[in-house]
Amino acid sequence: MTGEQTEALIGMLVTFGLLVLMVLPSLTGIVRDRRIDRQLREAQEGAREAGRKEAQKTQKSSDRSTVPSTATWYAEGRRSKKLVSS
């Protein structure tokens, strides 16, 4: 191996090392994001299963008392003003 070949090999190794140092943080970030996404998916699936179990235990919707919505209160307020002004 000549001196020029040795220099070329060292240059390629240094270039490859710099490439690895630049790409490594991105790869670790990608792996971390995928792990977090997987954990979130598992948590959502667990919440869905818990919600299904809870829905089976809860009362029927016809047994629950209902509260009027804001739109109903607004409409009632407008109706009462209309009646008063006429």
What is the torsion angle, in degrees rounded to the nearest 10, for the CA atoms of residue 12, residue 17, residue 23 and residue 29?
A: 160
What percent of the chain is predicted at pLDDT more than 70?
64
Q: Which pLDDT value is given to residue 32? A: 96
Q: Which pLDDT value is given to residue 85? A: 53
Q: Which pLDDT value is given to residue 16? A: 97
The model's confidence at residue 47, banded by pLDDT at 50, 70 and 90, is confident
Task: Say what the pTM is.
Answer: 0.48
User: What stretch of H or E contains 14?
Assistant: helix 3-57
Per-residue pLDDT at 56 exceeds 60: yes
Q: Which pLDDT value is given to residue 15? A: 98
